[in-house]
Structure 1
Amino acid sequence: MCGITGWVSFDRDLTREGETLEAMTRTMACRGPDAHGTWVDRHAALGHRRLAVIDLPGGAQPMSARTPNGEVSLVYSGEAYNFVELRDELTGLGERFTTSSDTEVVLRGYLRWGAALADRLNGMYAFAIWDARDRKLVMIRDRLGIKPLYYYRTPDGILFGSEPKAILANPIAERVVDTDGLRESLAFAFTPGHAIWAGMRQVEPGTVVTVDVDGVRERTYWRLETRAHEDDLETTVGRVHELLDDTVRRQLVADVPRCLLLSGGLDSSTLTALAAAHMGDERVRTFAVDFAGQAEHFTPNEFHDTADTQYVHDLANHVGSEHADLVLDPKTLADPEVRRAVLTARDVPITLGDMDLSLYLLFKEIRKRSTVALSGESADEIFGGYRHMHNPDVQKARAFPWIAFSIGPLDKDGHGLNQPLLDGLELEEFRRDQYDAAVGDVKRGDDEDDHEYRMRIMINLHLTRFLRFLLDRKDRLSMAVGLEVRVPFCDHRLVEYVYNAPWSFKHYDGREKSLLRGAVKHLLPESVAWRVKSPYPSTQDPYYVRQLQAQCKDLLSTKDHGVFELVNRKWLEDATRQDAEAVQRTTRLGMERAIDFGVWMDIHNPRLALA
Structure 2
Amino acid sequence: MCGITGWVDFGRDLTAGAATADTARTAAEMVATMACRGPDDQGVWTSPHAVLGHRRLAVIDIEGGRQPMAAPADPATPGRPDPAAGPGTTPAAGPGAGPAAVLTYSGEVYNFTELRAELTALGHRFRTRSDTEVVLHAYLQWGEHLAERLNGMYAFAVWDARTEELLLVRDRLGVKPLYWRRLPGGLAFGSEPKAILAHPGADAVLDADGLRGILGFFKDVGRSPYRDIQELRPGHVLRIRRSGLTVRRYWRPPSDPHTDDLPTSVARVRELLEDIVTRQLVSDVPLCTLLSGGLDSSIVTALAAARGPVRSFAVDFTGQAEKFVPDLMRDTPDTPFVHELAEHAGTEHADIVVDAARLADPELRATVVRAFDAPAVNGDMNSSLYLLFRAIREKSTVALSGESADEVFGGYLWFHDAGAVRADTFPWVAMALRPGVSARFGADQSGPFDRGLLQTLDMPAYLADEYAKAVADVPDVPGDDEHERRMRRVCHLHLTHFLPMLLDRKDRASMAVGLEVRVPFCDHRLVEYVYRTPWAMKTHDGREKSLLRSAGRHLLPESIAQRRKSPYPAIQDPAYELALRDQVRDLLADSTAPVTPLLDRGAVKRMADRPMDEAVTTGFGGRRSAFELVLSLDAWLREQNVRLDL
For Structure 1 versus Structure 2, the TM-score category normalised by the shorter chain is over 0.9
Residues 87-134 of structure 1, C-alpha deviation per residue, up to 9 Å, x if partnerless? 111111110111110000001111111111111100000000111100
Q: What's 1:462 paired with?
A: 494
Q: Which residue of 2 aligns with 1:572?
A: 604
Q: Map 1:118-517 onto structure 2 (within 5 A).
A: 118-279=147-308, 283-406=309-432, 411-517=443-549
Equivalences for residues 18-167 of structure 1 within 5 A: 18-67=24-73, 70-71=98-99, 72-167=101-196
For residue 198 of structure 1, give the secondary structure of its aligned residue in structure 2.
coil
Deviations 1:415-454 (A, max 9, x none): 2111211111011111111111111121222221111110
TM-score if structure 1 supplies the norm length?
A: 0.98
2:564 corresponds in structure 1 to 532
| Cα shift readout 1:195-214 (whole Å, capped 9, x = no counterpart) | 22111111111111001111
The answer as to whether partners of 1:187 and 1:412 remain within 8 angstroms in 2 is no
- Cα distance 1:414–1:25, how it changes in 2: closer, same or farther (>3 A)? same
Structure 1 stretch displaced more, 330-339 or 1-10: 330-339
Q: 1:32 to 1:188 in 2, by over 3 A?
A: same
Post-superposition offset of 1:12: 2.0
Partners of 2:240 and 2:246 within 8 A in 1: yes
The reply on whether 1:598 has 2:634 as its aligned counterpart is yes
CA distance in 1, matches of 2:367, 2:141: 42
1:536 partner amino acid: Y
TM-superposed deviation, 1:189? 3.5
**In 2, distance between residues paired with 1:233 and 1:288?**
33
Given that residues 167 and 237 in structure 2 are in contact (C-alpha distance below 8 angstroms), is that contact kept between their aligned partners in structure 1? yes
Shift of 1:376: 1.1
Cα distance between partner residues in 1 of 2:226 and 2:445:
23
Distance 1:116 1:229 in 2: 26
Distance 2:625 2:378 in 1: 9
Residue identity in the other structure for 1:4: I
Helix, strand or coil at the partner of 1:278: coil
Kindly indicate whether the alpha-carbon contact (under 8 Å) linking 1:149 and 1:160 is maintained by their aligned counterparts in 2: yes
* Residue in structure 1 matched with residue 84 of structure 2 by the alignment: none
CA offset at residue 560 of structure 1? Answer: 2.8
CA distance in 2, matches of 1:428, 1:139: 34
C-alpha distance in structure 1 between counterparts of 2:468 and 2:248, whole Å: 23
Residues 386-395 or 442-451, more deviating: 442-451
CA distance in 1, matches of 2:137, 2:474: 36
Aligned equivalents of 2:348, 2:361: Cα separation in 1: 29
Q: Offset at 1:413?
A: 4.2
- Confirm or deny: 8 A CA contact 1:189 1:431 kept in the other structure: no
Q: Any gaps of 5 or more consecutive residues in structure 1?
A: none
Q: 2:484, 2:205 → 1: CA distance?
A: 43
CA distance in 1, matches of 2:637, 2:627: 16
Instruction: Please state whether the residue corresponding to 1:562 is helix, strand or coil.
Output: coil
Percent of residue pairs bearing the same amino acid type: 55
Q: Is the 8 A contact 1:227 1:500 kept in 2?
A: yes
Question: Is contact 1:415–1:589 with CA below 8 Å preserved after alignment?
Answer: no
Assess if the C-alpha contact under 8 Å between 2:42 and 2:56 holds in 1: yes
Q: Which amino acid aligns with 1:173?
A: A
Say what the alpha-carbon RMSD is for the aligned residues. Answer: 1.3
- Residue 300 of structure 1 aligns with an amino acid whose one-letter code is P
What SS does the aligned partner of 1:197 have? coil
Amino acid at match of 2:209: D
Does structure 2 conserve the Cα–Cα contact (< 8 Å) formed by 1:74 and 1:128? Answer: yes
Counterpart residue identity of residue 184, structure 1: G
Following the alignment from structure 1 to structure 2, what is the Cα–Cα distance between the partners of residues 64 and 188?
Answer: 42
Deviations 1:130-177 (A, max 9, x none): 111000000100000000000000120000000000000112102111
Look up the SS of the partner of 2:490 in the other structure: helix
- Rate the CA distance shift 1:460–1:421 in 2: closer, same or farther, 3 A: same
Output the CA distance in 2 between the equivalents of 1:139 and 1:70: 21
Q: 2:262 & 2:211 partners in 1: Cα distance?
A: 45
Residues 484-536 of structure 1 show CA distances to partners (whole Å, capped at 9, x for unaligned) of: 00000000000000001000000000000000000010110011000011111
Q: May I ask how many residue pairs the two structures share in their alignment?
A: 607
Shift of residue 474, structure 1, vs aligned partner: 0.4
- Which residue of 1 is the match for residue 87 of structure 2? none
Larger displacement relative to structure 2 (269-278 or 67-76): 67-76
Please say if residues 353 and 409 of structure 1, whose CA atoms lie closer than 8 Å, have aligned partners that are also in contact.
Answer: no
User: What is the alpha-carbon distance in structure 2 between the residues aligned to residue 410 and residue 506 of structure 1?
Assistant: 29
Higher mean Cα deviation, 317-326 or 440-449? 440-449
Task: Name whichever of 15-24 and 481-490 sits farther off.
Answer: 15-24
